[in-house]
Structure 1
Amino acid sequence: MKLLFVADPLHTFKTYKDSTFAMMREAASRGHELWACEPQQVVWQRGSLVQAQARRITLTGDAHDWFDEQEQALVALSSMDAVLMRKDPPFDAEYLYATHLLTQAEREGARVFNKPQALREHPEKLAILEFPLHIAPTLVTRSIEAVRAFHTEHRDIILKPLDGMGGMGIFRVKDDGLNLGSIAETLTKDGTQTIMVQAFLPAISEGDKRVLVIDGEPVPYALARIPQGGEVRGNLAAGGKGVAQPLSESDWAIARELGPILAARGLLLVGLDIIGDRLTEINVTSPTCFQEITDQTGWDVAQRFIDALESAVQRQQRQ
C-alpha cells in the first residue's frame, strides 16, 4: 500500500519513542510505501483534487538520520491507499481547517484515518462529556465565579486549558485556595476563554494511564505516566515516568464500552487517559505510547495497528 502520513516535520521526530515512527517502521517492514507531508502542504484548488506536496521516504535504521528522501511530488490524496492524520495538537483553527481539506479528500475517494469528521467532533478534553458516568466531577466554563463555586464544593481541584497538550497549563489548587483567582483569571483570560476544572484525583500518584484502543479493541497494557519530583502532572513531556502495566478491571470496562462506539465513528486509534477508575481525556489526534508499551511488555502495538489499518482499508475498498 501507499501510505501518506500527515504529520509534524520529520526532523523533529524522536524516533526512540515516536509512535508515528513506529507505525512507519512496521509498515515499511511489510513492504508498504511511505509518503509524508505537513498539514500546510495540503492544498485544494477548484477544478482539481486535494493534493499534497509530499516526499516519499525510506527508513535507514539510523537513530538520527533515520530516513532517506527518494522523491518529492505533488500527489492527490485520493491516489494513496491510506492517509494517516498524525499531526500533534494543539487543536487550533489551522488543525480544524486541515480536517476540512481531508474531508474534501474523502469526497474524492481518499481513505483517511482517523476520520476527519470524527476528529472535529471529539475535541480531546471535551469528548469525555458524553460519558459522565466514567468521569470525575467536572466543570466546563469561562466564569471565574463558577470556578470559585466549584472549588468551594470540591476543595482540591485541577484547572486546565482546553487546547493544551503534554500537561501544558495544568494547575492544582488545594483546600487553601491559594492563587485560585489569579490562576482562573489567567487561564480564562479574564473570563473570555473556556477552561475545564475537575476534582483532584489522588490516584494520580499511581499514574495517569494511557489506554490505547485500536479499531475498537483495547491494547491489553496501559502506560501509567507517574508524576515525579512533586509534580501533579504525569505527562511524559512534563517529566512523568512511564510504566507499562496490564489493564485493570475498570480500565477494561471503560475501554470495552467506549471502544466500539468510537470505532464506529471512524476513530481507528484512540488513547483513553484514565486516573484510577476515572476517564479524564479521549485522545484522537495523534495518540502515543506505542514504543514504551512494546519495549516494556513485548506486546507489539505498531504491529496490531498496521494489521487494523490494512483491514480497514480492505473494508473500505469493498464498499
Structure 2
Amino acid sequence: MKFAFIVDQLDSIKIEKDSSYVMMREAAGRDHQLFVMQQGDLILNEGLVTGFSRELTLTHQKEQNHRWYQEGPPKNILLQEFDAVLMRKDPPFDMEYVYSTYLLELAEQQGALIVNRPKSIRDYNEKLAIAKFSQFIPATLVTRQESLLRKFLDKHGDIVLKPLDGMGGASVFRVHSADHNISVILEMLTHYSKRTIMAQRFLPEISQGDKRILLIAGKPLPFALARKPKPGETRGNLAAGGIGIAQPLSERDLEIANTIGPQLYEQGLILVGLDVIGDSLTEINVTSPTGMQEITNQTGFNVAGVMIDALERCVHDRRT
C-alpha cells in the first residue's frame, strides 16, 4: 500500500517519541510505500487536489547525528492515488490549517482516504468538542465576558483558564479566588474581551496525571499515558515537563472511551486522544494525537501496529 504523511519538517521530528515516526516505521516494516509532504505542498489545480510528495525511506539510525530518513525528488501526485493520506501536521490550528482541511476534503470527494476526516477535524475543536459529551466533563464555562469568568471563579474558587486554540499546555493558567493577577490574566487570554476562552473547575486529581487515552477505529487501547506534572506545576503536558507513566484504563476511563469512541469513529476520526483527569473528560485531540511510543516502550503493547492494522482494514474495506 502507499501511505502519504502530511507532517512538519522532517528535521524537526523527534523520532524517540514522535507517533508519526513510529507509524511510519511500522508501515515500512510491512513493506508499505511511504511518502511525505508538508502543508504547503497541497495544491488545487484545474479542480484536482495534488501534493508535491517525496518518497520516504527510513534508515537504520545507529548514531545520534545520523539522518533517520532519505527522501526522493518531489513529484506532484493526485492524493487519490495514495491508499491513505494521514494528516499529522501539529497545531496551531490556524487558518492555514483550516485551508488545508478544505483541500483535503475536496481530495476526499475525489476518492482519497484522509485520516482523520478533514470535516471532522474542523468540527471537533479539541477544547470545545467535550461539550458534545457533557455527562463526562467538569464544570465548564466558555465565554469572552470577564464578568462571567469572575462569577465562575467566585463560585468554584479554584479554576483553570485556557485558550481554545492552544496545545501542549501553552497559555494555561490556574487561578485562585484570591489571585491578585486575575485581571491581567483575563485581559491577556481574552484580548480585552475579544477572544473566547474556556474556564474549568480545577481538578486536584491532576496530581495523579492527565491521562491520554488513545482511541483507534473507535476502540480504546488497554493502557493510558498518565502525564504527571513536574513539581510546582499544575500542567501534565509532556511539552510542559510532565512525566508520562503508562497504566491500565480504569472502569471510568473505559466508560468514557467506550461511549465516545464509536461516535467519533462514525465521523471518520480514526485516531483520537482523549484527555481525562480523574473521572472527567477535559479534551478530545483529533489533529495529531501522541503518546504511542511512551505506551509501547513501557508496556510492550504495539500501539503503532494497531494503528496500521486499522489503516489496512480501512483500505481493504474501500476496495471490496
Larger deviation, residues 207-216 vs 65-74 = 65-74
For 2:28, the equivalent position in structure 1 comes to: 28
TM-score by length of structure 2 reads 0.98
Q: Which structure 1 residue ranges, 4+ long, deviate > 2 Å from structure 2? A: none
Indicate the SS of the match to 1:117: helix
Residue by residue over 1:199-232, the C-alpha shift from the partner in whole angstroms, topping out at 9 and shown as x without a partner, is 0000000000000000011000000000012111
| Residue 150 of structure 1: how far off its partner (Å) | 0.4
| Residue 72 of structure 1: how far off its partner (Å) | 2.0
Q: Is the 8 A contact 1:188 1:195 kept in 2?
A: yes
Q: Is the 8 A contact 1:212 1:272 kept in 2?
A: yes
Between the aligned partners of 1:158 and 1:61, the Cα distance in structure 2 is 44
Amino acid at match of 1:49: L
Between the aligned partners of 1:317 and 1:208, the Cα distance in structure 2 is 39
Amino acid at match of 2:123: E
Select which of 171, 186, 204 maps to 1:169. 171
| Residue 314 of structure 1: how far off its partner (Å) | 1.3
Amino acid at match of 2:58: L
Amino acid at match of 1:237: A
* 2:114 equivalent to 1:115: no
Larger deviation, residues 62-71 vs 179-188 = 62-71
Indicate the SS of the match to 2:72: strand
* 2:268 equivalent to 1:269: no
Tell me how many residue pairs correspond in the alignment: 317
Q: Is the 8 A contact 1:273 1:279 kept in 2?
A: yes
* 2:153 equivalent to 1:151: yes
Amino acid at match of 1:26: E
For 1:2, the equivalent position in structure 2 comes to: 2
For 2:130, the equivalent position in structure 1 comes to: 128
What percentage of residue pairs aligned between the two structures are identical? 53
Q: Is the 8 A contact 1:217 1:259 kept in 2?
A: yes
| Residue 70 of structure 1: how far off its partner (Å) | 2.8
Between the aligned partners of 2:177 and 2:152, the Cα distance in structure 1 is 12
Amino acid at match of 2:51: A
For 2:256, the equivalent position in structure 1 comes to: 254
For 1:51, the equivalent position in structure 2 comes to: 50
Indicate the SS of the match to 1:281: strand
Between the aligned partners of 2:60 and 2:176, the Cα distance in structure 1 is 48
| Residue 71 of structure 1: how far off its partner (Å) | 3.1
For 2:201, the equivalent position in structure 1 comes to: 199
Q: Is the 8 A contact 1:57 1:71 kept in 2?
A: no
For 1:76, the equivalent position in structure 2 comes to: 78
Structure 1 gaps of 5+ residues are none
RMSD (Å) for aligned C-alpha atoms: 0.9
For 2:216, the equivalent position in structure 1 comes to: 214
